[in-house]
Amino acid sequence: MLGNARQTRVFKNKWFVRFARQEGIEDAALCEAISRAEKGLIDTDLGGGVIKQRIARPNEGKSGGFRLIVLFRSREIAFFVYGFSKNERDNIRYDELRVFKTLADQIYDYDRAALANALKCGAIVEVKCGEEVSK
């Protein structure tokens, strides 16, 4: 386990990196979503360490924005693993949720060495959230 950290470490997987780039989602928006979650402002708690956070499209509002699936453990770690536009689909399917919960169980067992290896091979990318975002 990673232990208790003061600030949540935030990551995104390779699929999410491509999705965010295609949709123009900046890391600052991801940091803001995690900041809200840390304050208890979770849009939907899907159970098993999986949450859904909404973010706005660039220069628009949240209602027509994106839904992001995050593996989230408060004050420890957050992984952005999937995202979709509200106009593309309403929600994830039950079988998809089961996969995300299984992935969360695996990710939460990562120690620092496993995270370092995943970063080194490019399977995940760390999102740098500055103090101005986490207030």
Using one digit for the tens of pLDDT, what is the confidence trace for 56-78?
887 676 667 899 999 999 999 99
Q: How many helices (H) and strands (E) does the chain have?
A: 4, 6
User: Mean pLDDT in the chain?
Assistant: 88
Q: Is the pLDDT of residue 44 over 80?
A: yes
Helix (H/G/I), strand (E/B), else coil: 64: coil
pLDDT-derived band at 43, boundaries 50, 70, 90: very high
Q: Look at residue 132 and tell me whether its pLDDT is greater than 50.
A: no
pLDDT for residue 57? 84
Residue with tokens 């593996």: 71
pLDDT at 62: 61
Does position 4 have pLDDT exceeding 60, yes or no?
A: no
Tell me, what's the pLDDT at 6? 60
Q: Name which of 125, 21, 19, 65 is nearest 52 in CA terms.
A: 65
Whether the pLDDT of residue 3 is over 50: the answer is: no
The per-residue pLDDT for 58 is 75
Per-residue pLDDT, 135: 38
pLDDT for 95 equals: 96
| Residue 125 phi, psi (nearest 5) | -130, 135
pLDDT confidence bin for 12, thresholds 50/70/90? very high
